[in-house]
Structure 1
Amino acid sequence: MTTIHRRPSASAEDTTKSDVVEMAWDPITRIVGSLGIYAKVDFKQKAVRECHSTSSIFRGYSIFMRGKDPRDAHFITSRICGICGDNHATCSVYNQNMAYGVAPPHLGEWIINLGEAAEYMFDHNIFQENLVGVDYCEKMVRETNPGVLEQANNTEAPHAGEHGYRTIGDIMRSLNPLEGEFYREALQMSRLTRDMFCLMEGRHVHPSTLYPGGVGTVATLQLFTDYLTRLMRYCEFMKKVVPLHDDLFDFFYQALPGYEHVGQRRVLLGCWGCLNDPAHCDFRYEHMSEWGRKMFVTPGVIVDGELVTNDLVDINLGIRILLGSSYYEDWVDDEHEVFVTHDPLGNPIDRRHPWNQHTIPKPAKRDFNAAYSWTMSPRWFDGENHLSIDTGGGPLARMWSTALNGLVNTDLVQATGSSVRITLPKTALKPETTFEWRIPKWSNAIERNRARTYFQAYTAALAIHFVEQALDEVRAGRTETWTPFKVPDQAISCGFTEAVRGVLSHHMVIRDGKIANYHPYPPTPYNGSVRDVYGTPGPYEDAVENTPIFEENPPERFKGIDIMRTVRSFDPCLPCGVHMYVGNGLEKEYTHSPTGVVKPY
């Protein structure tokens, strides 16, 4: 059971003590990990005054990677997470490809793209419909906003002919966990997409056929046909999903004026790009700017809606790891080694770059005025400011960056500069359908969720392209999937891709043929970061602090649904966010509510 702890706050201004209540949701349910949200809620002004995001486990991958054979890096780092392990394995393989100076045969790279595309479809589907979707289901809305549910029951769904649900209330009922028709249908789709992944990479979620230099997958016409038959069923499903979610999310804007401010924060989005084009990607650092722009999801840093850069070299150089309010000692002093002074292009490397990071745990009692979490504070430095970028849960940043760049153009997907057009071909029961995701006005909870839906359709359309390219290779007799390599005695390298939840980079230093330093940076350290040395809150904290309260319940029965929608819109996954500290061996046990609904103690 997730517990809300309540107590009046004496720090409130312009209100009585009882108006501002300190509340804690710890742990947050329906996610993986140990995320806690500690907030001060002003019930008179119906807004969150203050928020702190915490994570209570330390894992230490960057410590025990030292001295390992670099060829084991993807097998080890895959175990960082039981959700996006293949994203880590893929990023580590990219990292190793750079270190070893090797690129897979084109067919090998298409197979990796097909595996990653299947993972995006699988994970976004199960999270959106079976985890986040519960926040918008009939049972949840009945408990938190009965007036909204009454309105939903009387509101015709604009796209009922496409998804089959007459009213918005019917859509909400279809999302009820275990009982809802759409909820159960989505579970079946998750099984299909997991099958697709295993066809390409052998095992989910820790691939068994993925290696530096390519894959061990045996490429046959039957393999890609099996993938494609499942993919077309998923495409047909997406023709229902996109209009269904548009109807649901648009209704919340209509029913609750001002709901665009729930989870809203400044547009500070980061996307590292993913899904390489083997015709351009040779994994050489010296060419990274060029092949990065050829990715099928285009990298970019977006500030206040403007594209600051799409250059992976600039993106790499700008990464800074700040400690701030986290449980670590600093390493920027004369006692700690500097591993890398300049990149392969001669650019200076900062002491706070992951290549130079030292992980020195310093456990302490939680103190919101000092250290309070095991999550560090990664930032992106633009030359003047350390920006607290977020990933928009992954898809929002990916779609926004790809749209603004306007570089992707295939038969089925086109980036226009302000939108992304997605065409899903004719399927068994539905005609060819085109969707268009347009850059929204806000970076908020609703738009993070909406982008997740459209990105599923985008990935499905790309996967069709990847299958066609792979089949062309096989038919031409180019069936090699792996390129031999040698491990150098000395190297520095990096890999860039997108985990399901957003930006993912792996940074490695090799000395004497062994790993001297290795730091993976997934999306959750960015999204779930804590206040840094400049006092800047992390994205979870910032988004919750900006959130108005629309829930109809009084304080004594408050569920915090608007806060939960905000946090879960980022698709939190804490195993990747923290680096396991056992302490004195004390054991702490949590019991999770089967519905994920928070209850007062």
Structure 2
Amino acid sequence: MTITEPTAGAAEQAGSELVEMAWDPITRIVGSLGIYAKVDFKNRRVAECYSTSSVFRGYSIFMKGKDPRDAHFITSRICGICGDNHATCSVYAQNMAYGVAPPPLGEWMINLGEAAEYMFDHTIFQENLVGVDYCEKMVRETNPGVLELANRTEAPHAAEHGFRTIGDIMRSLNPLEGEFYREALQVSRVTREMFCLMEGRHVHPSTLYPGGIGAVATIQVFTDYLTRLMRYIEFVKKCVPMHDDLFDFFYEALPGYEQVGQRRVLLGCWGALNDPAYCDFKYETMSDWGRRMYVTPGIIVDGQLITNDLVDINLGMRILLGRSYYEDWAGQETFVDRDPLGNPVDPRHPWNQHTIPKPAKRDFEREYSWVMSPRWWDGQQHLPLDTGGGPLARLWSTALNGLVDIGYLRSTGDSVVINLPKTLTKPESTVEWKIPRRNGELLSNAIERNRARTYFQAYSAAAALYFVEQALAEVRAGHTKTWEPFTVPKEAISVGFTEAVRGVLSHHMVIRNGKIANYHPYPPTPWNASVRDPYGTPGPYEDAVQNTPIFEENPPETFKGIDIMRAVRSFDPCLPCGVHMYLGEGKTLQKLHSPHAYTADGG
């Protein structure tokens, strides 16, 4: 963190005293995220925030001309954390382009792999990364008064999770030493094994293809998965009540803490986990099979479901440059004028995007990040949607839609009910995630993003139970086919929709002459980490941090910015998907007479 002198002028006239601070890079994540803020210590509030990313790679550039059948192997390397989500989304886009759908067993196995990925990644982040923000050591350094209260406060669900006080929960989250921290590391290994049983390798699947999956489906492989899944469910039954106790305590210990990381409810969910009985991957039927997903798509504005139609969601996407390091592509080639249903496609849609990097010196008044500004056009304005870290949008959309009812999971219109069966030491239990409200206000804040992550761990486990049962039924019925052949067309446009761990993920592909003519993956990072757009609207990280109150007890000289970090890390930020590497024009090395002397053309 860096600190500069207080900012003078208009701020002081308004009774403020601003201190410029920077956290760059943000720790405990992958990537190059930087947060630059002006903190008003007099009024205990963040006055201004900018989110930056300093590296560019450009998958959309070097995907051009590639064989589309290689797309999922290449794009999985976008990220070493959610690479399988990219591979899966790419396969979905290829299925649409090739006109192929996997056999039911193949789709169930893909769902089992994705469910295992959700369980793995959420466990690692929640308990071993963002959980550290709420551990005893961190609270001691930033809010010693809160820790004293935590040590005196009985945990309401102690009988379910085994920790007597809130202070005991905090100690269990201490890195490398805490009981729960270490247990989560062990459990995460089990979930990776579950994924590999379905897709061969984590995080870059080796058995996932367009048309299905290459893993051999046997009773044993599903039994091995189920054995590990029940171990995970045992863990989740402890996890959910423990986090409820911890997060509820922060609301009570620090009145007003619901404002930390709070922003307007502008949530996007693209849906996940297809039902093979309905999903044929055709664009013409996408509205219907999208609604049949086991995580229901939806755009939520101020608590209201605006649409759950993937065609509408697709057509509303706009890629704005805002204050990012790119040249506009206005006047460049338009790849897609109309979608397969005949609807007009906007020039700023990902199908028509051109990526033209324009490196520049960071200037918050001009350009300051390699992340663009994706927005969703509702017919009147460009909405800066966020993903709520992934789980908040997924649960909120699924709850409002009320379309999921598979025994283990049921969405009610205002909540999601999750039924977990009896495990080795714990009885059958039911947990219910409810749309978050406090004092009549809908909450899209740091605490509720984190709380939703714990509940979605349970949701993923319950969904996986259902998927295992369906897969076993297929095998017992003799339906063991997991892959369908296909041919690559000369011309096609397609899109894949799913949910990466951190939220919305779409891959947009244009094929010409049997090769990729245009390809744009849009994961959660550019949505959440987007910069101010041409209308001056800040991105979600920026918006969530601006106006966040400061509860940390340290003075500016020793300020850690824990409330700011909790706001940012609640989104589960992961920058590789949003920023990549740029080498410029390149230089040629020439060897001279001396074996140790080299020169570079142009420098």
Query: TM over 0.5: same fold?
Result: yes
- Could you tell me whether the CA contact under 8 Å between 2:4 and 2:19 is conserved in 1? yes
Q: What does 1:249-398 correspond to in 2, within 5 Å?
A: 249-333=247-331, 336-398=332-394
Shift of 1:9: 1.4
Q: Within 1, Cα distance between the matches of 2:75 and 2:106?
A: 21
Instruction: Name the amino acid aligned to 1:545.
Output: Q
Instruction: Name the amino acid aligned to 1:393.
Output: G
What SS does the corresponding residue of 1:485 show, helix, strand or coil? coil
Shift of 1:14: 3.9
Shift of 1:580: 0.8
Q: Within 2, Cα distance between the matches of 1:503 and 1:103?
A: 22
Q: Within 2, Cα distance between the matches of 1:284 and 1:466?
A: 23
User: Who is 1:20 aligned against?
Assistant: 18
User: Who is 1:140 aligned against?
Assistant: 138
User: Who is 1:473 aligned against?
Assistant: 474
User: Who is 1:597 aligned against?
Assistant: none
What SS does the corresponding residue of 1:497 show, helix, strand or coil? strand
Which runs of 5 or more residues in structure 2 are unaligned?
A: 438-442, 588-603
Q: Within 1, Cα distance between the matches of 2:511 and 2:343?
A: 19
User: Who is 2:533 aligned against?
Assistant: 532
Residue 39 (str. 1) matches residue 37 (str. 2): yes
- Could you tell me whether the CA contact under 8 Å between 2:139 and 2:146 is conserved in 1? yes
Instruction: Name the amino acid aligned to 1:525.
Output: P
**CA deviation profile, 1:529-549 (whole Å, cap 9, x unmatched):** 000000000000000002000
User: Who is 1:447 aligned against?
Assistant: 448
User: Who is 2:433 aligned against?
Assistant: 437
What SS does the corresponding residue of 2:330 show, helix, strand or coil? coil
Moved over 3 A (4+): 14-18, 582-586
Residue 122 (str. 1) matches residue 120 (str. 2): yes
User: Who is 1:576 aligned against?
Assistant: 577
Instruction: Name the amino acid aligned to 2:360.
Output: A
Residue 402 (str. 1) matches residue 398 (str. 2): yes
Q: Within 1, Cα distance between the matches of 2:335 and 2:472?
A: 44
- Could you tell me whether the CA contact under 8 Å between 1:527 and 1:540 is conserved in 2? yes
- Could you tell me whether the CA contact under 8 Å between 1:9 and 1:17 is conserved in 2? no
What SS does the corresponding residue of 1:519 show, helix, strand or coil? strand
Q: What is the count of residue pairs matched by the alignment?
A: 582
| Identical amino acids, percent of aligned pairs | 81
What SS does the corresponding residue of 1:280 show, helix, strand or coil? coil
- Could you tell me whether the CA contact under 8 Å between 1:543 and 1:566 is conserved in 2? yes
Q: Within 1, Cα distance between the matches of 2:14 and 2:486?
A: 69
Q: Within 2, Cα distance between the matches of 1:535 and 1:196?
A: 45
Q: Within 1, Cα distance between the matches of 2:13 and 2:190?
A: 54
Q: Within 2, Cα distance between the matches of 1:163 and 1:186?
A: 14
What SS does the corresponding residue of 1:13 show, helix, strand or coil? helix
User: Who is 1:235 aligned against?
Assistant: 233
**Residue among 149, 160, 167 paired with 1:169:** 167
Shift of 1:5: 3.0
Instruction: Name the amino acid aligned to 1:390.
Output: D
* Cα distance change on mapping 1:7 and 1:544 into 2, 3 Å: same
> TM-score if structure 1 supplies the norm length?
0.96
- Could you tell me whether the CA contact under 8 Å between 1:100 and 1:487 is conserved in 2? yes
Shift of 1:437: 0.3
Q: Within 2, Cα distance between the matches of 1:573 and 1:322?
A: 21
Q: Within 1, Cα distance between the matches of 2:565 and 2:186?
A: 26
Q: What does 1:212-227 correspond to in 2, within 5 Å?
A: 212-227=210-225
Q: Within 1, Cα distance between the matches of 2:268 and 2:162?
A: 36
Instruction: Name the amino acid aligned to 1:556.
Output: E
Instruction: Name the amino acid aligned to 1:120.
Output: Y
- Could you tell me whether the CA contact under 8 Å between 1:298 and 1:405 is conserved in 2? yes
Q: Within 1, Cα distance between the matches of 2:63 and 2:460?
A: 33
Which runs of 5 or more residues in structure 1 are unaligned?
A: 587-601
Q: Within 2, Cα distance between the matches of 1:60 and 1:11?
A: 41
User: Who is 2:601 aligned against?
Assistant: none
User: Who is 1:547 aligned against?
Assistant: 548
- Could you tell me whether the CA contact under 8 Å between 1:53 and 1:540 is conserved in 2? yes
Q: Within 2, Cα distance between the matches of 1:257 and 1:111?
A: 46
Shift of 1:578: 1.8
Q: Within 1, Cα distance between the matches of 2:2 and 2:180?
A: 30
Q: Within 2, Cα distance between the matches of 1:82 and 1:436?
A: 32
Shift of 1:256: 0.1
- Could you tell me whether the CA contact under 8 Å between 2:488 and 2:514 is conserved in 1? yes
Greater shift in the superposed pair: 575-584 or 101-110? 575-584
Shift of 1:585: 8.8
Shift of 1:16: 8.9
**Residue among 421, 424, 434 paired with 1:425:** 421
**Residue among 205, 208, 227 paired with 1:207:** 205
- Could you tell me whether the CA contact under 8 Å between 1:299 and 1:398 is conserved in 2? yes
